[in-house]
Chains A and B, each alone.
Chain A
Amino acid sequence: MLQVVCVKQVADTETRVKVAADGKSLDPAGVTWILNPYDEFALEQALAIREKQGSGEVVVISLGGAGVQSTLRNALAMGADRAIHVRADRAFDSLGVARALAAEIAPLKPDMVWLGRQAVDDDAAQVGPMLAELLELPCVTVVAHFELDGSKAVAEREIEGGREVVEVTLPALFTTDKGLNQPRYASLKGIMAAKKKPIDEKPAAPAEPVLEVVSLELPPPRGAGRVVGQGVAAIPELIRALREEAKVI
């Protein structure tokens, strides 16, 4: 069984966002780059399936500049077999990313394609279902529970006020939610082994943009609030403020 896991390098969640001089993008100065946390669940799921089956291959793929190779190396250290780096030195919109990834993934004819439910930088949550459409695969997004039985998978996803249970026949694409599994840490042995695993670098085909960034702006800061008091004695004032000032209870 061949599984492809799409990963993205993103700014760490502790990053304080600063807007770059172009007024349209994140200022990369001082940013720590990590593997998108939701993609870790995707990778873990693929690795766990390969281990359970005792055979198969897990290929990780990422689009981006030279810097993403460290993230791919990280995924290889966790246990992926090989990596494809789709080299792109400028920003792509979601459809552009999906098209570039689809061009590399389609010839591999994977049984399963995995992605995180969204990247924690742009929060777009688009590349997964777009890729499914381009690869003509069925897809289940935001998967929180997953079972595989032969070529049939049962996936559960959280919806408003409940869970949807979806049956799907492979090949298929899934995007993963937190809670699906507990991603492993790369072992020292894994880190050593990753140094010898191949990263195949390919240029991204030029894509016509379908979105244009007008600006990236910081939201207005919240007005300073006040401390109503200390301990139980402050409760009457808190209740009064919520009722009479904020009018929320």
Chain B
Amino acid sequence: MSILAFIEQRNGQVRAVSREVLGEATRLAEKLGGPVVGVCVAATDPGLAALGEAGATRVLLARHEAFAQYDAAGYARAVVAAVEAVKPAVLLFGATAIGKDLAPRVAARLGAGLANDCTALSAEGGKLIATRPVFAGKANLKLAFPRVPAIASLRPRAFAAVSRNGAAAAVEPLAFAYDAQASRARVTRLAASAGGKADLTESEIIVSGGRGLKGPENFKVIEELAEALGATVGASRAVVDAGWRPHSDQVGQTGKTVSPKLYVAIGISGAIQHLAGMSSSRCIVAINKDPEAPIFKVADYGLVGDLFEVVPALTKAVKELNEKSG
């Protein structure tokens, strides 16, 4: 039995998460057996042969000019055609905006089980077991799959890619029926976010601000530190609900779950729904004037003080460091 990996492309570029998915597929194939096959839905070949280095032995390409933009119904038909052709034991997606939209549609078509946004996969007794955070990370759920294929989407940045120097994947056209009538939702435009801001879930460093900022205008001190660190700005639910920051900035249970290498929480007390969304960060720094704030219980490094004094001084120190390391 093989492992089928959905290869996501946008604007003719294979997305980084697809190499992570192929990496995990390669590790699973060692335990469950079978070749690693990719399926890509696109208007043109985004350089799929190169995915041999990422672990794919072959990649099926479902090509249609309509696939220049994401089309849920068309993509789902193509992926189901690939499943029928390959008959995989496991089907993997990246848990991206596209992956989380597409995987449930494919699972419903196949009548198979899906575990979305997984952070770990394992094989027990020749069967896939998927681990996924629930309650925004307050707990982990382990799932087994009574039906074949087992379908899982993998959280970006949670799985490592592999590198096989010089290997090339065979790229083969995938036969499928495109039905324009079925595609009644059409992407007409992509709008870049303001300032080309990175998505929080894809950021290496996040600097988040909370109610301690006292007002939206004071987020300037957060933005300046974020700029010095090359970080993305996040926010607590309290300041999003107050209208100080857009919802896309919110970290926590009704916002984003993030796991950057460095998370700096400034003026955030640490409500349980916020902690749920950032506790899997590799390193957490908290700056808060209240030494009893719950955020200090999860922080690797805490600094007690007035953020309006501490943060500008920290920004200055980081800038000096940047200059020194040139």
Does chain A have a CB within 8 A of B212? no
Binary CB contact string for chain A from 89 to 132 against chain B (1 if under 8 A, 0 otherwise): 00001110010000000000000000000001111111111101
Which of A59-67, A80-88, A140-148, A185-193 participates in binding chain B?
A140-148
Contact A242 B198 (CB under 8 A): no
A200 at the interface (CB under 8 A from B): no
Kindly specify which of A1-9, A13-21, A42-50, A71-79 makes contact with the partner chain. A13-21
Known contacts A210-B112, A242-B262; A167/B192 CB under 8 A: no
Give a binary string over B290-326; 1 marks a CB under 8 Å from any A CB, 0 the rest: 0100001111111111100110011001100100000
Distance, CA A133 to CA B178, complexed state (A): 16
Check if B177 is an interface residue, CB within 8 A of chain A.
Answer: no
> What separation, in Å, do the CA atoms of A102 and B74 have in the docked complex?
21
Q: Which residue of B lies closest to A12 (CB)?
A: B273
Report the minimal beta-carbon distance from A185 to chain B, rounded to whole angstroms.
14
Asked if B76 and A133 sit within 8 Å, CB to CB, the answer is yes
A246 adjacent to B139 (CB under 8 Å): no
- How many residue pairs bridge A and B at CB < 8 Å? 278
Which one, B23-31, B37-45, B246-254, is touching chain A?
A: B246-254
Contact in complex: B314, A238 (CB < 8 Å): yes
Known contacts A129-B72, A129-B101; is-contact A225 B299 (Cβ 8 Å): yes
Question: A161, B248: Cβ atoms under 8 Å?
Answer: no
Q: Which of A139, A154, A160 has the most CB of B within 10 A?
A: A160
* B300 shortest CB reach to chain A, Å: 4
Interface of B: prevailing SS: mixed
Task: Tell whether B9 is near chain A: CB-to-CB under 8 Å.
Answer: no
* Cβ contact within 8 Å between B140 and A248: no
Q: Does B72 lie within 8 Å of A227, measured CB to CB?
A: no
Cβ–Cβ contact B97 & A248, under 8 A: no
Nearest CB of A to B128, in Å: 11
Q: Are A212 and B143 in contact (CB under 8 A)?
A: yes
Docked pose: A219 CA to B272 CA in angstroms: 14
Do A125 and B100 have beta carbons less than 8 Å apart?
Answer: yes
Q: Does B176 sit within 8 A of A, measured CB to CB? A: no
A238 — which chain B residues lie within 8 A by C-beta? 285, 301, 303, 314
Q: Tell me if A163 counts as interface (CB < 8 A to partner B).
A: yes
Which of A26, A129, A228 interacts with B303 by CB under 8 Å?
A228
CB distance from B224 to the nearest CB of A (A): 15
Q: Identify the interface centre among B107, B136, B199: most chain A CB within 10 Å of its CB.
A: B107
Q: Enumerate chain B residues within 8 angstroms of A130, measured Cβ to Cβ.
A: 104-105, 107-108
A95–B248 alpha-carbon span in the complex (Å): 28
B190 at the interface (CB under 8 A from A): yes
Chain A positions within 8 Å of B196 at CB level: 161
Contacts A126-B107, A162-B191, A164-B187 given; does A211 touch B115 at CB 8 Å: yes
Interface string of B135-160 (1 = CB under 8 A from A): 11111111111110000000000000
- Whether the Cβ atoms of A211 and B272 lie closer than 8 Å is no
Can you name the residue of chain B whose Cβ is closest to the Cβ of A212? B144
Q: Which of B82-90, B162-170, B276-284 lies at the interface?
A: B276-284
* B187 and A165 contact, CB distance less than 8 A: yes
User: Which of A130, A165, A166, A211: most chain B Cβ within 10 A?
Assistant: A211
Per the bound structure, the CA–CA distance linking A13 and B285 in Å amounts to 23
Cβ–Cβ contact A126 & B114, under 8 A: yes
| Given known A-B contacts A177-B247, A225-B298, A219 and B306 have beta carbons under 8 A apart | no
Given contacts A178-B255, A225-B296, contact A158 B97 (CB under 8 A): yes
Among A16, A95, A218, the one with the most B-chain Cβ atoms within 10 Å of its Cβ is: A95
CB distance B262 to A249 under 8 Å? yes
Query: Is B49 part of the contact surface with A, judged by Cβ < 8 Å?
Result: no
* 15 residue pairs from A and B, CB less than 8 Å apart: A14-B272, A17-B135, A121-B134, A156-B191, A161-B199, A162-B192, A165-B191, A172-B184, A211-B143, A216-B142, A218-B139, A225-B296, A227-B291, A231-B303, A235-B314
Nearest 4 CB-CB pairs, A to B?
A: A210-B113, A179-B247, A138-B185, A133-B108
